[in-house]
Copies of this chain bind each other. A is one copy, B any other.
Amino acid sequence: MSKVEEKKLEKYRKLLDAAYELAEHKELVSISIDEIVGRAGVAKGTFYLNFKDKYDLISKIILDRVCKFMNEERLKKHSLPPSAPIKEHIELLVGEVMKFLKSNMTLTKLIDKNVHTCVNAVIENRNGDFAEIYELIGDGLRNLGFTAEEVNAKLYLLFDMIVSSCCNALIRKNPLSPDRVCSQLTDIITCFYTGASLYKKSTEVAI
């Protein structure tokens, strides 16, 4: 990377970080571009060299942060042997998503207003440890006989429910606490999983 390109990238990062830091104290929507560039220490025009507008910036912040999550050691460290019961894998995933969001409340507030931006970003860019656990759950469903397309659809909706419910619990606490949400989500997904296996078997039988 040339020196010029490096400098450009540095400014991009500074803007991303400045915005995130400001979002810790105020809603990003009500933070002005002036404040962001002021904190980043760049000229106002530079903002528009990097982002179309504030909403573009928000998308890019979310993408940046969730990519980090997916490579985090945390999923690996606690990770289970692939042979562990599916319920434990679900519990691990749900629990780690919640923990991650809990320790990044600023990000959580951003995601809460942009759930689908986040879900799409995660699924389209999945990699690292997250990708592994994601595939594992998918494999289970595939083994039950669902087509690849059905598996994707189900994973998408389930992951959407996880993200949306975790954010809601952390922000509004209400009507369910984060812990309750974790256990209920695990419950629901496990029941679904169990039911799915039955459902498939009976379908097969029916045929």
Contact = CB atoms under 8 A, between A and B. Distances in A.
A164 interface: yes
Interface string A87-127: 00000000000000000000000000101100010010000
A interface, size bucket: 35 or more
A160 interface: yes
Given A172-B116, A193-B195, A198-B194, A165 B154 contact: no
Contacts of A172: 116
Interface string A157-190: 1101100110010001001100011001101111
Secondary structure dominating the interface of A: helix
Q: How many copies does the complex hold?
A: 4
A136 interface: no
Interface of A: 113, 115-116, 120, 123, 150, 152-154, 156-158, 160-161, 164-165, 168, 172, 175-176, 180-181, 184-185, 187-199
Given A115-B164, A157-B188, A161-B161, 13 more contacts: A153-B181, A154-B184, A157-B161, A157-B176, A157-B185, A160-B165, A191-B191, A191-B199, A193-B195, A194-B198, A194-B199, A195-B196, A195-B198
